[in-house]
Amino acid sequence: MRSFEVETRSGDGAAVVEVAGSVDAVTAPRLSEALQAAVAGGEPRLVVDLAGVDYVSSAGIRAILSGVKAARSAGGNLAVAAAQPQVREVFELAGLTTIVGFHDGASAAIASLG
């Protein structure tokens, strides 16, 4: 099993949270903490880069939705970048692609945040 990693970098007016590995009940709290910390640190515009994610569970979806709520409450928003097809499909099946914007890369996701 691949290890889980989450790293936040700031630039271009947004915090980009890069995630690698599986986002499940064990790892989702770390993603949620990273998103909340970015907003608390003054970065309400968030991009979650899922290029390195091969699996996301309902706990991972909840983590991202909590990030959306935090970002919007602070006057920003959250977009997802580079989700692999099987990961994007989970969000589509849950009907969440109307709530969270999905983009091919981080630059497009940042641009979508306005």
CB burial of 21-47 (b: ≥16 within 10 Å; e: otherwise) equals: bbbeeebbeebbebbbebbeeebbbbb
Q: What tens-digit pLDDT sequence spans the chain (114 residues)?
A: 568 999 999 988 999 999 999 999 999 999 999 999 999 999 999 999 999 999 999 999 999 999 999 999 999 999 999 999 999 999 999 999 999 999 999 999 999 998
Tens of pLDDT along 42-74? 999 999 999 999 999 999 999 999 999 999 999
Beta strands in 13-94 (DSSP E): 14-23, 45-56, 77-81
pTM equals 0.96
The reported pLDDT for the residue numbered 2 is 65
Query: Domains in the chain and their CATH numbers?
Result: 5-112 (3.30.750.24)
Both ends of the chain: CA-CA distance in Å?
Answer: 37
Cα–Cα distance measured from residue 81 to residue 17, given in angstroms and rounded to the nearest whole number: 10
What number of other Cβ atoms are within 10 A of residue 100's Cβ?
A: 18
